[in-house]
């Protein structure tokens, strides 16, 4: 009912529970304690936990939202839908040119024909992205560029953010992209995680799974309204195939993942 105690010295893990400093607190009954107390500096663990949740980022790009002229925005991160792509790309080009050049080099490597990408301020003050193809003299506006090219550029901007999200969630990255790009994209997500951001990805792409280690794969199964999660590495059959040199995506295509929950339950 909004009354309780909050610990002030949670960071002192060496102390037994009974020696932690507790402080009586009263908040509105309909307010989450972590939301309220997490704004106060003296509750360090509560604040760190609140900041972690507040900095989760869910990426579900909408190509139609990313296209066209945009106003310049103050945000430094790419939005969930990607509708501020021109603004974030422009800022990266101006403030982090080395990182932007890395993004550009990868786009040249992976997308046939791309020679240059520029986020520019138009005569009316709006921002737009132009894509250059080496076979043509004039660059293309994003209206005339494929969905896959825009999405890959957006992912490269997201994954080379100088300040990674602590938790990044991505919805089906394979949409609008060629299957052969999945290996490179999986490697980029892996690199992002090593730079400091934990990554959760939902996918139906065998090609993407082929590029992911078994220890990183989890199977979600829904039954009668409930979803259960299983580590693929806990399945002896899948592990045996993978040790023999098979790939997770191929095993999924062959139906080996079917019944994984039952096999894990059987050995447990």
Record the tokens describing residue 108, joined without a space: 């040249």
For the whole model, what pTM was predicted? 0.81
Q: Which residues of the chain have pLDDT under 50?
A: 268
State residue 264's pLDDT score. Answer: 63
Judge contact between 117 and 107, C-beta under 8 A. yes
Exposure of 77 in the CB half-sphere (CA atoms within 13 A): 14
Distance separating alpha carbons of residues 249 and 183, to the nearest angstrom: 11
DSSP for residue 199: E
* Domain positions in the chain: 3-54, 56-212, 216-268
State residue 265's pLDDT score. Answer: 59
Record the tokens describing residue 209, joined without a space: 């799974």
Judge contact between 92 and 117, C-beta under 8 A. no
Distance separating alpha carbons of residues 8 and 15, to the nearest angstrom: 13
Record the tokens describing residue 200, joined without a space: 């959760």
Distance separating alpha carbons of residues 192 and 123, to the nearest angstrom: 36
State residue 11's pLDDT score. Answer: 64
State residue 106's pLDDT score. Answer: 95
Quick check: helix, strand or coil at residue 160? coil
User: Hey, which bits of the chain come out as E strands?
Assistant: 3-7, 22-26, 56-59, 114-121, 127-133, 140-141, 167-171, 198-202, 218-223, 226-231
Record the tokens describing residue 51, joined without a space: 């900041």
The model's pLDDT over 72-103, given as tens digits with 9 standing for 90+, comes to 877 788 999 999 999 999 999 999 999 999 99
State residue 205's pLDDT score. Answer: 93
State residue 54's pLDDT score. Answer: 81
Distance separating alpha carbons of residues 267 and 227, to the nearest angstrom: 20
Give which of 266, 248, 244, 267 is closest to 257, Cα–Cα: 248
CATH (one of 3.40.50.720, 2.40.290.10, 3.90.230.10, 3.40.50.300) for 56-212: 3.40.50.300
- Taking the mean position of all CA atoms in its chain, how far away is CA 176? 17
Quick check: helix, strand or coil at residue 59? strand
């Amino acid at each position: 009912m909004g009354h309780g105690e909050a610990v002030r010295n949670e960071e002192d893990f060496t102390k037994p529970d009974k020696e932690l400093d507790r402080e009586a607190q009263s908040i509105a009954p309909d307010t989450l304690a972590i939301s309220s107390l997490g704004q106060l500096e003296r509750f360090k663990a509560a604040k760190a936990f609140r900041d972690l949740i507040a900095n989760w980022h869910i990426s579900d790009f909408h190509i139609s939202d990313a296209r066209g002229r945009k106003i310049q925005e103050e945000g430094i991160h790419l939005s969930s839908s990607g509708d501020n792509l021109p603004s974030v790309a422009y800022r990266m080009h101006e403030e982090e040119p080395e990182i932007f050049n890395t993004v550009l080099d990868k786009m040249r490597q992976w997308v046939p024909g791309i020679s240059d990408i520029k986020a520019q301020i138009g005569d009316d003050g709006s921002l737009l992205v132009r894509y250059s193809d080496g076979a043509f003299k004039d660059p293309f506006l994003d209206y005339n560029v494929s969905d896959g090219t825009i999405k890959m550029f957006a992912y490269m901007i997201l994954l080379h953010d100088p300040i990674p999200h602590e938790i990044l969630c991505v919805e089906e990255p394979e949409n609008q992209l060629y299957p052969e790009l999945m290996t490179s994209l999986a490697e980029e997500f892996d690199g992002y995680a090593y730079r400091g951001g934990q990554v959760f990805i939902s996918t139906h792409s065998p090609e993407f799974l082929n590029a992911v280690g078994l220890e990183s794969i989890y199977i979600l199964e829904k039954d009668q309204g409930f979803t259960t999660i299983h580590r693929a590495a806990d399945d002896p059959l899948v592990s045996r195939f993978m040790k023999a040199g098979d790939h997770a995506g191929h095993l999924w295509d062959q139906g080996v993942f079917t019944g994984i929950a039952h096999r894990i339950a059987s050995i447990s």
